[in-house]
Structure 1
Amino acid sequence: MPKAQAFVVDTLAETVDELCRKFGVWKTTYALILAVWRRHQTTNQVSNLSNHMRRDIGLEDVPGEARKLF
């Protein structure tokens, strides 16, 4: 039988407090904002896809979009 692992879960406040003590408030704040911004940028956007590509992935067509010739 594999060894049982004990996971220690800290609260968010304790983790942020530890990071602030270790790296400083401004560096921690900057890193947090940067992480949120990067996550925000990586969300998938389907609004710029053509109807042909939308059909390929199983989405409905956008009404009123003119047919694009390649």
Structure 2
Amino acid sequence: MTQSQLLVADNLTATVNELYQKFGAWRTARALLLVAWRQRQTRMQVAELSNSQLRDIGLPEREDSLGHPNFLPLHLRRFG
């Protein structure tokens, strides 16, 4: 690890320890799970947007995935 990574890791450990001391283990874990769930929900909502909508809100566009076989309807896929 580089020195900057050690500083971030120490800072994160100190912050988590402070949260644990102030609120307890269960509340800290619950808050962490809530944040992770909200982040996942945000990513799921953004995944449904078209490239033009992504461009409108300032996010990078996805590459064209129409040629990818997973995006073909089931009756058009070749199995075997």
TM-score by length of 1: 0.54
How many residues end up aligned between the 2 structures?
51
**Does residue 36 of structure 1 match 2:32?**
no
- Residues 1:36 and 1:61: Cα distance change in structure 2 (over 3 Å): closer
Which of these two proteins has the greater Rg computed from alpha carbons? 1
Q: How far is 1:21 from its partner?
A: 0.5
Q: Higher helix share goes to which structure?
A: 2
- Residues 1:24 and 1:60: Cα distance change in structure 2 (over 3 Å): same
Q: Which has the higher contact order (CA 8 A, sep 6+)?
A: 1
| RMSD (CA atoms) | 2.8
**Does residue 20 of structure 1 match 2:20?**
yes
Gaps of at least 5 residues in structure 1 are 1-8, 66-70
Gaps of at least 5 residues in structure 2 are 1-7, 56-60, 74-80
TM-score by length of 2: 0.48
